[in-house]
Amino acid sequence: MAEALDISTDNCIIEKEGKTLIVTLNRPEAKNAFSPEMLLGMYKAWRRLDEDDDLMCAILTANGDTFCAGMDLKAGAEGHRSTQEFMELMGTVPNIHWQALLRDDRPSKPLILAVEGYALAGGTELLAGTDLRVAAEDATFGVTEVARGLYPMAGSSIRIPRQIPYCLAAEIVLLGRHITAQEALEWGLINRVVAKGGALAEAKKMAAQLCETGPLALKAITRSLRELGTDVPEAEAMLKSDELANPVFASADAKEGMRAFKEKRKAVFKGE
């Protein structure tokens, strides 16, 4: 049973379901285009994910038939009316919008994306900041900023070429081409394609698997995946990987995991 959290906003519903945080974009009347209320909710959600030791992972999804259309271009031409709390936070957290959009200071735990319908511009930029990705068969992706004379500032031109082959990434960010869920799967941009309406349920299955793992190991492996990519020389990456691994192997959780395997029972991890 999901528990609604008081950090939710009108445009971003945040719930806790077991050890999983569920973050739902909630501006379907505007195709879930970004608003200050939405960014505020996402920012608070990612910080809660980091701070709450009971949480193991998060799912990012959306209400309505469009996952996210990115920046609100209708409002963008005239400037966006921001909420007071969002503006006040920007005074102390100037990159709050980039934290919300997973460009800066991503939470240390895995993020699962569950997409139904269109995920264009900022919608696909959010995708590039997640770790596991599920899409309904009707999903469509694309980084369309170039067609509007804009630049994808949330990181797509940096991250996507590191996640899929260069020429395919160039086709996305230079041509602004829309790609189907099946193409995204074949290109390696997403993990799974499911029937329409089934993305969140599949994401919850992934989350359930993550929540059975050791918390310390999960965070360390997530850091390794994100920080030790092909741009880091192999020898250097191995040394940094050892730095991440050593505290995990020295933990009580590691001993519990090996003991549980020997005793043929389910491990009881405590994050210690």
Residue numbers annotated as active site: 125, 145
Q: Residue 136 in contact with residue 118, Cβ under 8 Å?
A: no
Q: Residue 117 has what DSSP assignment?
A: B
Q: Residue 153 in contact with residue 96, Cβ under 8 Å?
A: no
Place of tokens 């995946």: 225
φ, ψ at 269 (rounded to 5°): -90, 145
Place of tokens 């006040």: 88
φ, ψ at 140 (rounded to 5°): -135, 135
Distances from the Cα of 115 to the Cα of 85, 190, 233, angstroms: 28, 10, 34
Q: Is 153 helix (H, G, I), strand (E, B) or coil?
A: coil
Closest among 64, 80, 68 to 121, alpha carbons compared: 68
The C-alpha atoms of residue 59 and residue 18 are separated, in whole angstroms, by 12
Burial pattern 197-231, b for ≥16 Cβ within 10 A else e, equals ebbbebbbebbeebbebbbbbbbbbbbbeeebeee
